């Protein structure tokens, strides 16, 4: 019996607690609803209850889009619609100052005469029009000036001016520059258009709509100033873009495209360690010959990459120990592969017996033959490497419209025995410039593949609500040893290969040229028109401690089509100008190593690598004017200029001014017997330079 009593007691307590909570919730809901209704009813206290009212959206100001240093790239500009209620103006003031008001309006907006303004306002007063349109979409400066005009300076209640109606428009202060990447959001006919950064981050930028009351008067609906719900301003999006680098990239690309009369092109600059995009330029030729940002080729356009893809082919082979970079191959200029034939771009002349490293530096298509032999029986193995390198799928960037790589695979239409060799030199396979750059950036980053990002933080009212950190897509795309080998090869391209014409006086560049034949109208690669080429250059700088990676792609140039001469020039100009302005390249002013002598030191004639290494180690700037093994310095112009030291193998070389080491090496290489006297640099030589060389002849050199 006691158990039943306990159960009933517990049930009663449970029900009591439950219904108590329900009652409390109902009370809270009733109170909230009552406050809201009372609040809304209070809104109508100063509203003419005879006239209709409605609740309308109060659209907030959209957030700004800034560069990484806080410079506005997209901002919201407020314009005002100016109206007048002439019925509230005192008759005496109206009669005395209307002519002055009309004259002031004519001075600001001369599309109407002063008499037209005066007649319009007078007629509106006679007809008791309380909402006469004066001007639409005036700037805030104009609005302030209007408030100083006769009658208007008395304010809304006495002067009749109504200047509270706002229109907010999005503006890009730098016009065409970066326009496509910054993008826009548009809702049209039930469809959303999310383009670029603004489209991708619109949910943050738009803020939250508020609510306010409007009342219908004789001339239409008018805002009452009664706010039901305050709007929440949009958040500020800080991008990864550096405006200074962006300006350089845009201007250098445009300048080269104008000169080359190219159809379209793009540039991307990426921070090596973070994957943050520092600049993106996309230009398309217009009908009038100018260039504009019309389409984002950098992230949306897939095309054959050409010889820049040879890096991936060699990395795969090195990983599988299919060959060594020092192995010799016969680069005779014409290569029979699987019943097909490929030739080198130097009119099929070839390069003779060279190492694979040299073949890469010269961009020989013998690499196709090497890759075919390595993977003809196991193409899946090759494709697996490409997947590991991050080349077979989208990078998953935040911006919409990323192109999907086209990857031929066994068993799919178009696959043939020639697919592997074609892919190894950058054909059949298609990808976007950004995807190519991400791969090269991984090599610069010692194998870590990063996701390219365009935004670094989002803030509202000064408080950061989202931070973007570097995102690793692949910790290590291949072994460190293979990366080190190919980084050395990329430097070799610039010193001894297709990129040797591109140089910097202050740092070394690592990169690869690419010249790809585009499909002609017959969908074949046999159209000989120069306009069917795509020139590219991709790499990073400085080579020893990479800070930025960069790709330049220019399609259908008319004057020239080789990658180095078309796109490589743009890359080198960007690299040099970024270096000149980037603090991370230069030592701090309080660093003991940062002091730079104002006196130009004496520079000896020497082997090119020795002389440039010494100058760099002492932080001395120089201009290298020739690609030669032996260089001599000219310091007469107030700076160090390195010029060619001419060496004629049939004549006795001039070794005066050289170190003993270099002089002995040069003379003994020529077949002479050297006798030394003294220490230091060569002061004179016993056999005059320029005489006919006799091998085995004795030459005495005196050092000071």
Q: What is the pTM of this model?
A: 0.72
Share of the chain above pLDDT 70, in %: 85
Please tell me which residue, 28 or 499, carries the higher pLDDT value: 499
Mean pLDDT value of segment 35-51: 52
Asked if residue 586 has pLDDT above 60, the reply is no
With contact defined as beta carbons under 8 Å apart, do 125 and 215 qualify? Answer: no
Check residue 636 and give its pLDDT: 58
Residue 55, token pair as written in the block: 């609740």
Check residue 624 and give its pLDDT: 65
User: Rounded to whole angstroms, how far apart are CA atoms 2 and 6?
Assistant: 6
pLDDT digits (tens, 9 = 90+) for 91-117: 999 999 999 999 999 999 999 999 999
Residue 351, token pair as written in the block: 């390069």
Check residue 222 and give its pLDDT: 63
Check residue 401 and give its pLDDT: 95
Share of the chain above pLDDT 90, in %: 54
Residue 570, token pair as written in the block: 């743009």
Check residue 568 and give its pLDDT: 92
Asked if residue 530 has pLDDT above 50, the reply is no
Check residue 305 and give its pLDDT: 95
Asked if residue 249 has pLDDT above 60, the reply is yes
pLDDT digits (tens, 9 = 90+) for 346-376: 766 789 999 999 999 999 999 999 999 999 9
Mean pLDDT value of segment 299-316: 96
Looking at every residue in the chain, the average pLDDT score rounds to 85
Q: How many CB atoms are closer than 10 A to CB 118?
A: 19
Residue 649, token pair as written in the block: 């193998």
Specify the 3-state DSSP secondary structure of 106: helix
Please tell me which residue, 359 or 26, carries the higher pLDDT value: 359
pLDDT digits (tens, 9 = 90+) for 52-62: 777 766 677 78
Q: Going by DSSP bridges, is the β-strand pair 72-84/132-138 parallel, antiparallel, or unpaired? A: antiparallel
User: Rounded to whole angstroms, how far apart are CA atoms 130 and 321?
Assistant: 86
Mean pLDDT value of segment 554-561: 90
Check residue 163 and give its pLDDT: 86
Asked if residue 607 has pLDDT above 50, the reply is yes
Using CB atoms within 10 Å of the CB of residue 251, give its burial: 0 to 12 exposed, 13 to 18 middle, 19+ buried. Answer: middle
Q: Categorize the per-residue pLDDT at 506 as very low, low, confident or very high, splitting at 50, 70 and 90.
A: confident
H/E segment holding residue 252: helix 243-260
- Range name among 263-267, 392-396, 556-560 with the lowest pLDDT average: 556-560
Please tell me which residue, 77 or 81, carries the higher pLDDT value: 81
Asked if residue 235 has pLDDT above 70, the reply is yes
CA dihedral sign of residues 330, 326, 513, 319: positive
Mean pLDDT value of segment 632-636: 69
Mean pLDDT value of segment 267-288: 97
Asked if residue 576 has pLDDT above 70, the reply is yes
H/E segment holding residue 319: helix 310-319
Asked if residue 341 has pLDDT above 70, the reply is yes
Using only C-alpha atoms, the chain has a radius of gyration, in whole angstroms, of 37
């Amino acid at each position: 019996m006691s158990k039943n009593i306990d159960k009933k007691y517990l049930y009663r307590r449970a029900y009591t607690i439950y219904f108590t909570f329900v009652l409390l919730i109902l009370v809270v809901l009733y109170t909230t609803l009552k406050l809201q209704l009372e609040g809304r009813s209070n809104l109508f206290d100063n509203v003419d209850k005879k006239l209709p009212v409605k609740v309308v959206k109060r659209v907030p100001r959209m957030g700004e889009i800034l560069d990484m240093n806080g410079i506005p790239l997209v901002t919201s500009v407020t314009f005002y619609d100016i109206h007048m209620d002439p019925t509230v103006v005192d008759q005496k003031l109206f009669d005395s100052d209307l002519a002055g008001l009309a004259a002031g309006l004519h001075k600001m907006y001369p599309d109407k005469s002063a008499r037209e303004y005066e007649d319009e306002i007078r007629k509106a007063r006679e007809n008791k029009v309380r909402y006469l349109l004066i001007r639409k979409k005036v700037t805030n400066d104009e609005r302030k000036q209007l408030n100083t005009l006769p009658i208007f300076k008395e304010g809304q209640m006495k002067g009749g001016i109504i200047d509270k109606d706002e229109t907010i428009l999005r503006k890009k202060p730098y016009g065409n520059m970066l326009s496509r990447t910054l993008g826009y959001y548009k809702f049209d006919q039930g469809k959303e258009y999310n383009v670029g950064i603004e489209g991708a981050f619109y949910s943050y930028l738009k803020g939250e709509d508020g609510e306010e009351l409007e009342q219908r008067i004789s001339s239409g609906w008018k805002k009452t100033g009664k706010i039901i719900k305050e709007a929440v301003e949009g958040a500020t999006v800080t991008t990864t873009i550096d405006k200074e680098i962006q300006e350089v990239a845009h201007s250098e690309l445009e300048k080269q495209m104008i000169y080359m009369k190219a159809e379209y092109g793009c540039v991307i600059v990426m921070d090596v360690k973070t994957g943050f995009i520092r600049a993106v330029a996309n230009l398309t030729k217009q009908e009038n010959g100018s260039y504009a940002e019309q389409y984002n080729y950098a992230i949306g356009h897939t095309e054959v990459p050409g010889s820049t893809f040879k890096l991936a082919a060699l990395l795969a082979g090195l990983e599988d120990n299919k060959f060594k970079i020092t192995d010799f191959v016969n680069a005779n200029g014409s290569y029979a592969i699987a019943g097909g034939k490929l030739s080198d771009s130097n009119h099929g002349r070839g390069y003779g017996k060279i190492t694979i490293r040299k073949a890469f530096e010269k961009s020989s298509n013998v690499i196709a033959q090497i890759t075919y032999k390595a993977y003809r029986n196991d193409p899946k193995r090759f494709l697996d490497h490409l997947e590991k390198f991050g080349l077979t799928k989208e990078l998953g960037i935040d911006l919409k419209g990323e192109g999907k790589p086209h990857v031929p695979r066994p068993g799919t239409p178009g696959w043939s025995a020639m697919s592997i060799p074609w892919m190894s030199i950058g054909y059949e396979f298609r990808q976007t410039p950004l995807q190519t750059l991400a791969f090269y950036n991984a090599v610069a980053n010692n194998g870590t593949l990063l996701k390219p990002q365009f935004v670094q933080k989002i803030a509202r009212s000064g408080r950061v609500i989202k931070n973007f950190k570097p995102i690793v897509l692949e910790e290590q795309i291949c072994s460190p040893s293979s990366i080190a080998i190919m980084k050395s090869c990329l430097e070799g391209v610039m010193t001894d290969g297709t990129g040797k014409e591109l140089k910097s006086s202050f740092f070394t560049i690592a990169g690869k040229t690419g010249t790809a034949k585009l499909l002609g109208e017959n969908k074949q690669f046999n159209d000989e028109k120069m306009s069917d080429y795509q020139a590219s250059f991709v790499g990073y700088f400085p080579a020893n401690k990479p800070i930025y990676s960069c790709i330049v792609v220019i399609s259908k140039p008319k004057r020239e089509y080789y990658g180095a001469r078309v796109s490589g020039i743009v890359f080198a100009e960007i690299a040099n100008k970024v270096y000149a302005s980037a603090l991370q390249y230069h030592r701090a002013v309080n660093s003991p190593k940062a002091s730079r002598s104002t006196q130009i030191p004496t520079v000896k004639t020497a082997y090119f690598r020795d002389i440039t290494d010494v100058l760099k180690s002492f932080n001395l700037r120089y201009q290298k004017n020739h690609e030669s093994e032996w260089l001599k310095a000219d310091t007469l112009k107030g700076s160090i200029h390195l010029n060619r030291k001419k060496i004629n193998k049939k004549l006795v070389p001039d070794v005066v001014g050289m170190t003993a080491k270099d002089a002995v090496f040069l003379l003994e290489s020529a077949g002479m017997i050297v006798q030394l006297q003294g220490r230091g640099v060569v002061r004179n030589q016993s056999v005059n330079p320029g005489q006919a060389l006799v091998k085995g002849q004795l030459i005495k050199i005196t050092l000071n």
